Amino acid sequence: MFLRAFAVSLAVLFPAVAEQTTERVFHLTEARTPQSLQEALMVMRTVAGIQQVSLDNKERSVTIRGSADELRLADWLLAALDRPGTVPREFAPVAADERFRVFRLTHSQTPRDLQELMTLIRSLADAQYIYCYTAGNALVLRGNAWRISLAEWLISELDQPGSTPPPASPREFRLPGGPDILPPEDVFVRIFYTRAHTSEELSGLLKGMRSAVRIPRSFTNTARGAIVVRTSAEKIAAAEQALQQARQGNPR
């Protein structure tokens, strides 16, 4: 009995050989401000899940201590942020159903545009691991296949020149439904292009829609004058009717 207890104590005090970690310094070329370096650090911690990260603003470098897999991920991710075009835009770790994707935005130029798109993706795609990299006008996302696909669709629809006319018909994306995936009442994402000219007008339309239909996941995209929702087909139909009534009550 004593020997068994002694063995257990040793196992607690001296666990099996831990995964080996290595320290590596990454020098950035395009990140020229402390804010850019800080955002790179936050991407490492919040999206990649690598906690042992430190910065040297003077040297414009990021020091990371981690496992071999973490360093491979950091190598790709920092290159994708700092030197776009030198590495693929997506990274898929071995034996994982999650992927990492860097989305470069072309027409969403302001921090507000980035923040609105990040909020949309985080809320509509249940994306816990997402962060914006302002210096590169980019969003970094970690997620499974349908989250990546939804984010790609939202960005392709909303990251457009301001002069681009809205589509003639509403745009819709269907998420994978099923008992082990998503409930059927929560698999439709719809973009309503309202033609609102100001953020105040757009917020008023959203408020009017929400007063008629309870859709918790409903957001505005100011750059495109759009309202984006995720809900059931029935509630989307009701929301469309509510928006039509709101526009009629506020003629332009």
What backbone torsions phi and psi does residue 163 show, to the nearest 5 degrees?
-85, -5
| 115 beta partners | none
pLDDT of 90 reads 95
- Check residue 228 and give its pLDDT: 96
pLDDT of 12 > 60? The answer is no
- Cα-Cα-Cα-Cα dihedral sign, residues 50, 127, 159, 173: positive
Those residues with Cβ within 8 angstroms of residue 176's Cβ, 6 or more apart along the chain or in another chain:
146, 182, 187
Mean pLDDT of 4-9: 44
- pTM for this structure? 0.86
All structural domains of the chain, each given as residue ranges with its CATH number in brackets, are 168-252 (3.30.70)
Query: What are the phi and psi torsion angles at 189 (to 5°)?
Result: -115, 125
Per DSSP, the three-state class of 159 is coil
pLDDT category, 110, cuts 50, 70, 90? confident
The predicted model gives 72-101 an average pLDDT of 91
Q: What pLDDT is stored for residue 82 in this prediction?
A: 92
Task: Give which of 215, 222, 219, 221 is closest to 241, Cα–Cα.
Answer: 215
Backbone phi, psi, residue 237, to 5°: -60, -40
> What's the token pair of residue 231?
């809900």
From the number of C-beta atoms within 10 Å of its C-beta (0-12, 13-18, 19+), residue 79 rates as middle
Rounded Cα distance, 105 and 138, in Å:
6
pLDDT tens-digit map of 146-163: 999 999 999 999 999 878
Determine the Cα–Cα distance for residues 33 and 201; give it in Å rounded to an integer.
36
Average pLDDT over residues 202-217: 94
Arithmetic mean of pLDDT, 42-51: 95
Q: Rounding to the nearest 10 degrees, give the CA dihedral for residues 212, 213, 214, 217.
A: -120
- Mode of pairing for the β-strands spanning 90-91 and 53-56: unpaired
Using 50, 70 and 90 to split pLDDT, how confident is the model at 249?
low
Among 16-20, 123-127, 197-201, 235-239, name the one with the lowest average pLDDT.
16-20
Question: In the Cβ-directed half-sphere of 4, how many Cα atoms lie within 13 Å?
Answer: 1
Tokens 């992927």 appear where?
99
Q: What is the pLDDT of residue 246?
A: 82
